[in-house]
């Protein structure tokens, strides 16, 4: 993901509000104790997710791809007092860690954490979402989008992470690089979809912002 200028990244981090002590702990422990720590949203993107949430003031949030819970807690910061965040992940090895972080947060009573496949869980949710964050397996981004769109309120927002995929989306793609090809197809599909309007932000690994029309 290090395809943006590192000095600019450091400057950006230094001029963004600090994360909470719990988020700093999650970030530190993820990098020390968990495989593939690059998957964590991190400071700047975490503050962006929090800011979006504060601007939207969502009552219902869905996150597809929990990892160690950092992004879920950032998104929870802007929820309404009666808000609820549902987050789902397939990695049961991280479950105890994530449940511990959620329990230590101010939002423990507002977060529902499920272990399972997003494509199977989403159809069972009887909710209308204000905000959805897609940050799971890249090959299923289009599937997740198609499943959540009918459950979105008009004017709601869908955020999709990693859509620049370390810059690979503009490089020569190998035929067996399924993740990159899937993201290229997803980016084009949502860009051409008349049901949403979009902007692709070159933040960290690329953040697609979609507003439901």
Quote the mean pLDDT of the chain: 96
Contact 169, 163 (CB under 8 A): yes
pLDDT digits (tens, 9 = 90+) for 133-155: 999 999 999 999 999 999 999 99
Alpha-carbon gap, residue 190 to 142, rounded angstroms? 9
Instruction: Say if residue 82's pLDDT is above 80.
Output: yes
What's this model's pTM, rounded to 2 decimal places?
A: 0.95
Q: How confident is the model at residue 3 (pLDDT cuts 50, 70, 90)?
A: low
Instruction: Say if residue 71's pLDDT is above 80.
Output: yes
Instruction: Say if residue 6's pLDDT is above 90.
Output: no
**Strand-strand pairing, 152-161 and 129-134:** parallel
Mean pLDDT of 152-169: 96
State the alpha helices, DSSP H only, in 139-202.
Answer: 141-148, 178-192
Structure tokens of 3?
Answer: 């395809």
pLDDT digits (tens, 9 = 90+) for 13-62: 999 999 999 999 999 999 999 999 999 999 999 999 999 999 999 999 99
Alpha-carbon gap, residue 36 to 166, rounded angstroms? 15
Contact 195, 213 (CB under 8 A): yes
Catalogue all structural domains in the chain, each as residue range(s) with its CATH number: 6-212 (3.40.50.150)
Mean pLDDT of 194-203: 96
pLDDT of residue 5: 83
């Amino acid at each position: 993901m290090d395809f943006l200028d590192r000095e600019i990244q450091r400057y950006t981090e230094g001029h963004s509000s600090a994360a909470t002590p719990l988020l700093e702990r999650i970030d530190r422990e993820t990098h020390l104790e968990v495989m593939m720590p690059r998957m964590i949203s991190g400071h700047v993107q975490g503050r962006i997710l929090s800011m979006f949430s504060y601007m939207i003031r969502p009552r219902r949030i869905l996150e597809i791809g929990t990892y160690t819970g950092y992004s879920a807690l950032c998104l929870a910061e802007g929820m309404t007092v009666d808000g609820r965040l549902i987050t789902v992940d397939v990695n049961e090895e991280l479950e105890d860690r994530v449940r511990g972080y959620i329990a230590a947060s101010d939002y423990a009573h507002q977060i529902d954490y499920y272990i399972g496949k997003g494509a199977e869980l989403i159809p069972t949710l009887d909710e209308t979402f204000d905000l959805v964050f897609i940050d799971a397996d890249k090959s299923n981004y289009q599937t997740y989008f198609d499943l959540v769109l009918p459950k979105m309120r008009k004017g709601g927002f869908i955020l999709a992470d990693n859509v620049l995929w370390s810059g690979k989306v503009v490089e020569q793609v190998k035929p067996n690089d399924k993740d990159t090809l899937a993201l290229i197809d997803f980016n084009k599909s949502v860009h051409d979809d008349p049901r949403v309007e979009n902007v692709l932000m070159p933040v960290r690994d690329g953040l697609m912002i979609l507003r439901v029309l």
